[in-house]
Amino acid sequence: MRDDVAPRREGLPACFRVTDEVASALEANEAVVALESAVLTHGLPVPQNIQAMAAMERAVRDAGAVPATCVVRDGRLCIGVTPEEIEAAAQDPGREKASVRDLACVLVGGGVAGLTVSATIFGAQIAGIRVFATGGIGGVHAPAALADVSADLLQLSRSRVITVCSGVKSILDIPRTLEALETLGVPVFGYRTDTFAAFYLESSGHPVPEVRSCAEVTRIARAHWRVGLRSALVIANPISQAEAISPDDWSQWLAEAQDAAVKLGIRGKALTPYLLETLATISRGRTVRANLALLEGNARLAGEIAASLTQ
Ligand code: PSU
Ligand code: MN
């Protein structure tokens, strides 16, 4: 690899487990894309979650790259897992969701954990993987009073990994999240668009600089890291027009789901899963279908960027 950080296998901490396929690809300077697994364990219902991971891995391969889905199991941070391990993680009754701060706990616990963006890009950087795909990154939650800011943001400022996403999770405050990324010095680009993607919606309307090709992403990322900066770069890739949800439908569905949550007194950790589940019901599956489409699209683009990075 021509970047300043060479892929590593030897000298990796003992708690890392890298599959032979991923390790050989990295050693041979072939394209590799890291994938998160919190979307598998906590983001989508069974069986759509398993289908989503399979579709993402396939899209990465179709683009000429090797997928490296990252999961914690048996006390190891696994970089690359088998389809059987994906199914097992999706259905494990004791599965946890781990960000960077939870990593040590779940490693010691010995069980299964789906990794968020923060934990995945941390592991990817150590393993020497330079490209990562997800649906939406974590960020700043809408009600300011919650003061809920995802660990993803700080970790993006610490991991040299190109992060392909369709913006931030659907229920977050987009302008506040973009301000936080600016404060942290994390560059954000729109892929073939000059506005920031808005998960299920095509655009948030917030302006971002546009990149036109994978080669351009690669040039900018190399310059960013060669000059000595140590952060991720966020590439916001909008959902395809065909699968995008109209802003009117979305605001109506979200208001309905939020009303229901308030009436039932649902708060804290239970709020996001409740909202997503209710939105899926109200929209008769449209939100889940859109989620699968954007995950697959991001995996494909990440694969193409990873292939371009090997040139
Ligand atoms: N986007 C989604 N669903 C998800 C996530 C993102 O549409 O489940 C996951 C990602 O793994 C992301 C994490 O890193 O949620 C952020 O969680 P938190 O806000 O608790 O940091
Ligand atoms: Mn949070």
Name the nearest CA neighbour of 170 among 69, 245, 267.
Answer: 245
Alpha-carbon torsion (289, 36, 209, 185), positive or negative? positive
Q: Is 185 exposed, middle or buried (0-12, 13-18, 19+ CB in 10 A)?
A: exposed
pLDDT in tens for each of the 311 residues of the chain?
A: 444 444 456 679 999 999 999 999 999 999 999 999 999 999 998 999 999 999 999 999 999 999 999 999 999 999 999 999 999 999 999 999 999 999 999 999 999 999 999 999 999 999 999 999 999 999 998 877 777 899 999 999 999 999 999 999 888 999 999 999 999 999 999 999 999 999 999 999 999 999 999 999 999 999 999 999 999 999 999 999 999 999 999 999 999 998 999 999 988 778 888 989 999 999 999 999 999 999 999 999 999 999 999 99
Query: CA 272 to CA 189: how far, in whole Å?
Result: 27
Q: Give pTM, 2 decimals.
A: 0.95
Q: Is the CB of 116 under 6 A from ligand 1?
A: yes
Give the pLDDT score at 147. 76
- The ligand with the least distance to the CA atom of 120 is 1
Give the pLDDT score at 11. 79
Q: Is the peptide bond before 7 cis (omega within 30 degrees of 0)?
A: no
Bridge partners of residue 190, in order along the sequence: 210, 236
Name the nearest CA neighbour of 129 among 187, 60, 197.
Answer: 60
Question: 118 near 155, Cβ under 8 Å?
Answer: yes
| Long-range Cβ pairs for the range 78-85 (8 Å, 24+) | 78/17, 78/18, 78/19, 79/16, 79/17, 79/18, 79/19, 79/22, 79/34, 79/123, 79/124, 79/127, 79/129, 80/18, 80/19, 80/21, 80/22, 81/19, 82/19, 83/54
| Sole residue written with tokens 């970089």 | 79
Residue among 141, 150, 153 to mutate when testing ligand 1 (max atoms within 8 A of CB): 150
Torsional class of 80: left (φ above 0), alpha (ψ -120 to 50), beta (otherwise): left
Query: CA 218 to CA 145: how far, in whole Å?
Result: 39
Q: Is the CB of 99 under 6 A from ligand 1?
A: yes
Catalytic residue among 57, 85, 96, 169: 169
**Run of H or E residues at 32:** strand 32-35
Give the pLDDT score at 3. 45
Give the pLDDT score at 304. 98
> Crossing angle, helix 214-226 and helix 286-309, to 10 degrees?
60
Q: How many CB atoms lie within 10 A of CB 73?
A: 21
Question: 66 near 302, Cβ under 8 Å?
Answer: no
- The ligand with the least distance to the CA atom of 121 is 1
Q: Is the CB of 198 under 6 A from ligand 1?
A: no
Query: CA 10 to CA 286: how far, in whole Å?
Result: 45
Residue nearest to atom 3 of ligand 1 (CA): 43
Catalytic residue among 36, 57, 96, 296: 36
Per the annotation, the verdict on 269 as an active-site residue is no
The CA 136 to ligand 1 mean position distance, Å, reads: 7
